[in-house]
């Protein structure tokens, strides 16, 4: 009982410190700013650009095409979430790169490692912190989407919107968890960012590789693909296997991080 | 309070420390004295549970540092060689964070943080971001994080390194004020530091503890240094002056040795480190027309260690300390511990 309370208190302590350091870092604001700028640009381009969805729908109306009916809101959501997913690919390694590399460089890992905390408590607290920061980056986007989609007819599919964004956060958590592991392997933040980017690019396109391999192995590899599982969710399909894949990545990342910190302490010379 | 037995640590096949054994009583300050690379940091990291030992045991407050690591971690405060500080936090925020992860109860935290800041004299900097603090203040915040949870044992790795002389005095006074309530181990490679702060000294060299004693006795041993004991017969009136003229002689002491015939005297010579004018000594004694009945080398095993230690405060920042002046200071420093003011 008491120990569970202690564990939760420790996770919260690490979480708060991590989150606080993002909000105190000018670098994090720059990343958030770029993310908001780009996502805002794509929002306008997809919806209201010359080739945008509204222009296309208007064109169809003019030409008198009524079947099949277009659901602009639904189409918009799946496009826009796809773009957000791709943006996240570039943004997330920059958020996760410092999680452990900075601690190693500053020597604060020695403080954490000699405090009565287990490695996975530290890893979990850090992951929750960085995921929360990404969540605060996504929340403002939800507001302007809600405003735009409230005008949609047929009405915007609210479940697709929520599920899609939940999928985005879940995928981000999976990427950040793996990024955290890579960050724990080095004390260079730049190296951590590059390696993380390489790894998630690989996981992003692994279904292309899978299709070319084919067979049972290809099938298995296909399930690991981030984009495939993410697209399932952004289409509004609550697929348990996709959730399990993302959760597995998250747990794997935390587990590997805890192991690598343990190994780092045991092998350092 | 702290018991270390036969502790060894191998990095690959290279031993970092071997059979390190010592103990610290409650309330004591143990100085861990040794040249750079002697194994001080390794030993401290094992004590704090940061590194596992290859063999041997270490216990703090009765808990094995490896078996009961969590229990030990709650009971120690640790200042690594580089203070583990988050630059983006305020002093107070950081200390609150440390208090929380060290398991200080929520109700006691503010009081403990306040107390730690007061003891380390950083109250006026409580709202300042740590990255804006000077080196001396950072070191004090480092010590504050080591004492914030009121641990029975405190381990400080080179707490005065890189500070200016005034800050060094402040940090030393702070450490001294912590003794009694806390058991402290501090490491240093500065010889006068131990005599000023520690109640006991363990000297470590090449991974082995070569001596454990009080600073006074170690200094006495060092002052005895390397030298010769002679038994001579005849009138020694002029001998002392003659011996003094030889190169490498530091002190000459002539007395009537116990149990010696009246005509014989005992001569004790101490030498400058690295000098060995044995041939000249014998020649001088014989040349003075005295009978030489015994001439015995007196060797102190610690000599090698002390030669590698920094013996003078100013040499810390120091590129300028030439080997010869360093050697001369080896004997000067223990006699004048107040020399740091210079």
User: Could you give the ipTM of this predicted complex?
Assistant: 0.87
**Chain A residues 114-173 with a CB less than 8 Å from chain B:** 114-117
- Alpha carbon of A16: minimum distance to chain B alpha carbons (Å): 9
Tens digit of pLDDT for each residue in A53-74? 878 888 877 887 776 777 778 8
Using a CB-CB cut-off of 8 Å, the residues of chain A touching B74 are 116
The tokens for B154 are 């405190």
Q: Which residues contact B267 (CB under 8 A, 6 or more apart)?
A: B228, B229, B230, B231, B232, B236, B239, B243, B252, B253, B254, B285
A260 or B222, which is more confident?
A260
pLDDT at position B301, please?
53
The single-letter DSSP state of residue A155 is P
For the cut 60, the answer to whether the pLDDT of residue B338 exceeds it is no
For the cut 70, the answer to whether the pLDDT of residue A175 exceeds it is yes
Using a CB-CB cut-off of 8 Å, the residues of chain A touching B80 are 107, 110-111
**Chain B residues 144-183 with a CB less than 8 Å from chain A:** 145
Instruction: Look at chain A and report how many structural domains it folds into.
Output: 1
Using a CB-CB cut-off of 8 Å, the residues of chain B touching A25 are 88
pLDDT at position B341, please?
37
pLDDT at position B331, please?
38
pLDDT at position B160, please?
87
Lowest-confidence segment of A150-154, A173-177, B124-128 by average pLDDT: A150-154
Partner residue facing B103 (CB), from A25, A106, A116: A116
Residues B78, A108: C-beta atoms closer than 8 Å: no
pLDDT at position B332, please?
36
pLDDT at position B319, please?
40
Partner residue facing A116 (CB), from B12, B74, B86: B74
* CA–CA gap between residue B160 and residue B169 (Å, rounded): 9
Best residue of A110, A112, A267 to probe chain B, by most B CBs closer than 10 Å? A110
- Contact, A94 vs A180, CB < 8 A? no
For the cut 90, the answer to whether the pLDDT of residue A195 exceeds it is yes
Q: Judge whether B87 is closer than 8 Å to chain A, CB to CB.
A: yes
Question: What DSSP line would sit under B37-90, residue for residue?
Answer: TSSHHHHHHHHTTSS--SEEEEEETTEETTTTHHHHHHHEEEE-SS----TTSB
pLDDT at position B276, please?
78
Residues B102, A9: C-beta atoms closer than 8 Å: no
Residues A14, B101: C-beta atoms closer than 8 Å: yes
Partner residue facing B50 (CB), from A24, A25, A114: A114
Using a CB-CB cut-off of 8 Å, the residues of chain B touching A108 are 84-86
pLDDT at position B250, please?
79
Indicate the pLDDT class of residue A120, thresholds 50, 70 and 90.
very high
pLDDT at position B290, please?
87
Residues A115, B98: C-beta atoms closer than 8 Å: yes
Tens digit of pLDDT for each residue in B295-311? 888 765 555 566 666 56
For the cut 70, the answer to whether the pLDDT of residue B137 exceeds it is yes
- Alpha carbon of B148: minimum distance to chain A alpha carbons (Å): 12
Indicate the pLDDT class of residue A267, thresholds 50, 70 and 90.
low
Residue of B nearest to A22 (CA): B88
Partner residue facing A116 (CB), from B51, B73, B88: B73
- Alpha carbon of B314: minimum distance to chain A alpha carbons (Å): 27
Q: Judge whether B85 is closer than 8 Å to chain A, CB to CB.
A: yes
- Contact, B10 vs B156, CB < 8 A? no
- Contact, A179 vs A257, CB < 8 A? no
What mean pLDDT comes out for the span B20-30? 90
Gap between the terminal Cα atoms of chain B: 37
Residues B89, A21: C-beta atoms closer than 8 Å: yes
Q: Judge whether A182 is closer than 8 Å to chain B, CB to CB.
A: no
Q: What is the domain partition of chain B in residue ranges?
A: 2-221, 226-298
pLDDT at position A253, please?
95
Residues B84, A24: C-beta atoms closer than 8 Å: no
Partner residue facing B50 (CB), from A14, A21, A265: A265
Partner residue facing A13 (CB), from B70, B86, B97: B97
B199 or A213, which is more confident?
B199
Percentage of chain B with pLDDT > 90? 25
Average pLDDT for chain B: 82
Looking at domain B2-221, its CATH architecture is: 3-Layer(aba) Sandwich (3.40)
Domain span at residue A211 reads: 2-267
Closest CA to A194 of A175, A179, A177: A179
Closest CA to B113 of B101, B97, B125, B96: B96
Q: Judge whether A269 is closer than 8 Å to chain B, CB to CB.
A: yes
Best residue of A114, A120, A261, A264 to probe chain B, by most B CBs closer than 10 Å? A114
Q: Judge whether A268 is closer than 8 Å to chain B, CB to CB.
A: yes
Residues B97, A17: C-beta atoms closer than 8 Å: yes
Average pLDDT for chain A: 87
Percentage of chain B with pLDDT > 70? 85
What mean pLDDT comes out for the span A15-36? 93
The single-letter DSSP state of residue B183 is E
Cis amide linkage into residue A154, ω under 30° from 0: yes
What mean pLDDT comes out for the span B333-340? 37
Residue range B226-298, CATH number: 3.30.70.60
Residues A21, B85: C-beta atoms closer than 8 Å: no
Lowest-confidence segment of A86-95, A234-243, B106-115, B213-222 by average pLDDT: B213-222
Residues A10, B85: C-beta atoms closer than 8 Å: no
Gap between the terminal Cα atoms of chain A: 38
For the cut 60, the answer to whether the pLDDT of residue B336 exceeds it is no
Best residue of B84, B145, B162 to probe chain A, by most A CBs closer than 10 Å? B84
Indicate the pLDDT class of residue A203, thresholds 50, 70 and 90.
confident
pLDDT at position A255, please?
96
Give the dihedral sign, CA B37/B39/B41/B42: positive
What mean pLDDT comes out for the span B12-38? 87
What mean pLDDT comes out for the span B80-85? 92
Indicate the pLDDT class of residue B35, thresholds 50, 70 and 90.
confident
For the cut 80, the answer to whether the pLDDT of residue A91 exceeds it is yes
pLDDT at position B222, please?
64
pLDDT at position B171, please?
87
- Contact, B29 vs B176, CB < 8 A? yes
* Paired strand residues for B10: B15
Residues B88, A6: C-beta atoms closer than 8 Å: no
Lowest-confidence segment of A48-62, A94-108, B43-57 by average pLDDT: A48-62
């Amino acid at each position: 009982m008491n120990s569970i309370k202690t564990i939760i208190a420790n996770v919260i302590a690490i979480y708060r410190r991590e989150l606080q350091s993002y909000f105190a870092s000018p670098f994090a604001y720059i990343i958030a700013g770029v993310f908001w700028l780009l996502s805002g640009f794509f929002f306008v381009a997809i919806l209201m650009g010359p080739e945008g969805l509204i222009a296309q729908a208007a064109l169809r109306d003019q030409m008198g095409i009524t079947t099949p009916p277009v659901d602009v809101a639904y189409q918009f959501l799946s496009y826009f979430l796809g773009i957000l997913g791709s943006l996240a690919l570039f943004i997330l390694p920059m958020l996760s790169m410092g999680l452990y590399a900075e601690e190693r460089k500053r020597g604060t890992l020695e403080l954490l490692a000699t405090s009565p905390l287990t490695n996975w408590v530290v890893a979990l607290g850090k992951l929750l912190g960085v995921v929360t920061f990404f969540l605060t980056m996504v929340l403002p986007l939800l507001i302007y989407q809600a405003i735009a989609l409230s005008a949609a007819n047929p009405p915007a599919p609210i479940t697709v919107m929520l599920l899609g964004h939940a999928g985005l956060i879940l995928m981000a958590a999976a990427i950040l968890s793996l990024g955290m592991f890579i960050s724990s392997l080095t004390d260079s933040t730049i190296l951590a960012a590059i390696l993380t980017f390489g790894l998630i690019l690989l996981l992003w396109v692994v279904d292309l590789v899978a299709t070319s391999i084919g067979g049972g192995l290809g099938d298995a590899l296909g399930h690991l693909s981030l984009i495939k599982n993410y697209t399932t969710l952004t289409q509004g399909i609550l697929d348990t296997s996709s959730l399990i894949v993302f959760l597995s990545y998250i747990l794997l990342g935390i587990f590997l991080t805890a192991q690598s910190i343990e190994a780092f302490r045991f092998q350092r010379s | 309070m702290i018991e270390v037995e036969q502790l060894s640590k191998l990095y690959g096949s290279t031993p970092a420390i071997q059979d390190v054994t010592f103990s610290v009583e409650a309330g004591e300050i143990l100085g861990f004295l040794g040249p750079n690379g002697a194994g001080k940091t390794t030993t401290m990291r094992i004590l704090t549970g940061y590194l596992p030992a290859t063999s041997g045991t270490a216990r703090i407050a009765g808990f094995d540092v490896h078996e009961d690591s969590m229990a030990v971690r709650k009971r120690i405060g640790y200042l690594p060689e580089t203070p583990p500080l988050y630059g983006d936090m305020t002093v107070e925020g950081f200390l609150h964070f440390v208090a929380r992860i060290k398991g200080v109860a929520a109700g006691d935290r503010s009081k403990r943080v306040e107390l730690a800041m007061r003891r380390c004299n950083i109250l006026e900097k409580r709202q300042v971001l740590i990255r804006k603090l000077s080196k001396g203040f950072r070191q004090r915040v480092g010590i504050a994080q080591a004492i914030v949870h009121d641990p029975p044992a405190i381990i400080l790795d080179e707490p005065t390194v890189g500070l200016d002389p005034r800050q060094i005095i402040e940090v030393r006074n702070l450490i001294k004020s912590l003794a009694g309530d806390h058991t402290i181990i501090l490491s240093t490679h500065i010889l006068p530091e131990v005599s000023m702060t520690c109640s006991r000294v363990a000297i470590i060299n090449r991974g082995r503890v070569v001596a454990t004693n009080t600073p006074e006795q170690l200094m006495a041993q060092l002052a005895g240094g390397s030298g010769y004991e002679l038994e001579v017969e005849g009138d020694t009136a002029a001998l002392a002056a003659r011996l003094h003229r030889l190169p490498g002689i530091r002190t000459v002491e002539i007395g009537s040795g116990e149990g010696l015939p009246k005509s014989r005297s005992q001569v004790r010579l101490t030498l400058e480190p690295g000098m060995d004018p044995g041939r000249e000594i014998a020649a001088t004694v014989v040349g003075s027309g005295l009978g030489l009945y015994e001439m015995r080398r007196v060797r102190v095993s610690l000599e090698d260690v002390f030669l590698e230690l920094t013996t003078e405060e100013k040499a810390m920042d120091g590129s300028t300390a030439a080997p010869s002046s360093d050697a001369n200071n080896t004997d000067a420093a223990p006699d004048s511990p107040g020399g740091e003011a210079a």
